[in-house]
Structure 1
Amino acid sequence: MTHQVHIIGGGLAGSEAAWQLAQAGIRVRLSEMRGSGEMTPAHQTDALAEMVCSNSFRSDDANSNAVGLLHQEMRALGSIIMAQADKSKVPAGSALAVDRDIFAGGVTQAVASHPLIEVVRERIDALPSEGPTIIATGPLTAVPLAEAIARATGRDQLAFFDAIAPIVHGDTIDMDIAWKASRWDKGSPDGDGKDYINCPMNREQYEAFVQGLRDGPKTEFKQWEKDTPYFEGCMPIEVMADRGVDTLRHGPMKPVGLDNPRTGRWPHAVVQLRQDNALGTLWNMVGFQTKLKYEAQVALFRTIPALENAQFARLGGLHRNTFIKSPELLDGALRLRGAPHIRFAGQITGCEGYVESAAVGLLAGLMTAAELAGRSLPTPPPETALGALLGHITGGADAESYQPMNVNFGLFPPLDESVRKKDRKQGYTDRARTALATWKQDALGAVPA
């Protein structure tokens, strides 16, 4: 199959971009390094759209949360990522979490079986000199291609560390100590309010745990990695512990809203586990990304009540994420200013999060499809989640201080001052729905969903 668009990278962004293009009748070559004998430091399979750090797409509440609104907008535009996430979801309260194997398998099957998509297992080391191209290699871009991007942009790469949370075998959790509940009993809409396993800790246990985090042996970094900043939304727990003894109690180990049924009170601290697969046999430690060495992880995590005999399907890890200085390098249509036949999509643009990555891939696919059809796709209004995210990446942020960003209402244009504070989240979402419906009708010629 002779392709019309070359997509490099088969993660969430690349898979979404390929799907949008193929659905528009455009032939795509999707190059994915994994499966060609190559692997990244963080991936475990060669499946397309493999989720590495977590199995959660975060909040699915489209009425009070910006990422939930982004979910809704992507569904309205036929997102393959959201369609497969909905098919593979597992209980996680108001969040959308998935069985990551079922999810990746579903995306792989859908994309690879599309008659207009050719998936090729190959590593691409250079930027194509011509032809519509989308670079969606993500935060773990292979060194040769990363160096090619650096040469093409004339800019040093920016980077930050991202960390992976451990996964526990469910049958090794002591449920005589732990209990199932969601915070404030707010579980999945169709559930019983008991979506998480909660492991309580008293003050003495918690403070010993914090000290263990501080004292435990950490992964050593190469010289060039030492000054690389962490992303605040995925901070290793030992880095948080160094900020103060109670930092974790106000973060991933927050006990608020979790009544221990054995005492009727909130514990001093709580370790929460979230279901990681459809069978409920694997549970990930929420917010427990870490750079502790493996043996130290096992020893320390087994000091947590209810995890004394825990067996781990995967331990925590740390990897280096790279991204480009998008506000300076990309135009409003995600094209590289110095080589406009090349678009960038996904986390390499500096968006943060699975959903945000896929959303930028969706936009790159739609924009490229419109370009090949001889027209320009108007950018989504800044009042929408898609438009707000795109605006931040392509010019809304200061290039010199640019850092990875999740979608949030702070990226949206302010509401009228007459809107009461308690009504603002609903105001943002109502305004966004109206704006997206109008844009979809005008830009895509589609009946609003």
Structure 2
Amino acid sequence: MAKRQIFVSMVFVLLVGLIGANEEEEADRILQLPGQPKVSFQQFSGYVTVNHAVGRALFYWLTEAVHDPLSKPLVVWLNGGPGCSSVAYGASEEIGPFRINKTASGLYLNKFSWNNVANLLFLETPAGVGFSYSNRMSDLLDTGDRRTARDSLEFLVRWLDRFPRYKHREIYLTGESYAGHYVPQLAKEIMTYNIQSKQTINLKGIMVGNAVTDNYYDNLGTVTYWWSHAMISDKTYRQLVNTCDFKRQKESDECESLYNYAMDQEFGYIDQYNIYAPRCNSSSGGTSTITRHTMRLPHQPRRIFRQMSGYDPCTEKYAEIYYNRPDVQKALHANTTKIPYKWTACSEVLNRNWNDTDASILPIYREMIAGGLRIWVFSGDVDSVVPVTATRYALAQLKLETTIPWYPWWEAGQRCIKG
């Protein structure tokens, strides 16, 4: 009789837990976003508190797979910066199901969305990015790689409790630019967590693009890219290589002056994230302001690279209008605590006050390889902020064996036609 009572009690506790999780999930359901076209997939968004003592909470947006979501993996997407929003970039400009129209009055479908093949979870991390917040405002002045990794792990554990149907799903961590730190660091936290916990997270692999990886090789690769793509003169290139210590976290005044000279006098009026595309200017709905802090070397906090396909250099401007709309925030269950600042695509406060950063992520790559994780590093060749040359120099230090020789990639039968 006693055994039966214990069994019944356990079942009751389990049912109560499931009901609680379902209620939380249902409260996060997005019925429809303003100006959104009709879709067949489910969406959820809201907050997960990662530190109850200080009231620190991270915002997420889940767009489930279009077809058979229960059989598809969970892909977690992180944008870099530090301080840049996964909602602004990953979700609204790159891999998400929607694009924002030029008047920011509504949305249209992105036929290249990754939710055609996976469930997409966009996470705004750390607190202070996008809609994520902390009630202890000093957190925004004292953050860095370590807290970001710990909070992101806490988010994922608590989020899986809220969405138990994903608990045993294959999970892939993805991101770009300074998420070249976030993604491997979170993977390492998960690997440690899985050793210590009875309920493991089914992490299968990571994917990062144009990823900040190693101070020295990233910086050397960036300066080399500028020179090889005729963005700077031979003289400036030689001065940068001979003057700057690329391993340092903070460069000398002489070196900084050289960088500033290159950007002010030699780069020209280009989009540094897509050197062959037009920049956003007042005639196309944006501004011509150059955010030069994102180009500071050696490799410090970075913003995102932008995709070539369907490229519009003003999309972050549309995002800053759309996501500041009260009706949009209400539909997303966002800004529920009335954050005392406007939603921005990137937080200058976080970017300026990033207080710890790993000099190199290569040791974590070695741990992930030893742990059997699948790793895909890709690099677009039009980004001059975290360029393909930086990726090549950094990954070469892993001294991995080539199993498939270099070969050309074709898309939709595209091929070169001789003149």
TM-score of the superposition, structure 1-length normalised? 0.27
TM-score of the superposition, structure 2-length normalised? 0.28
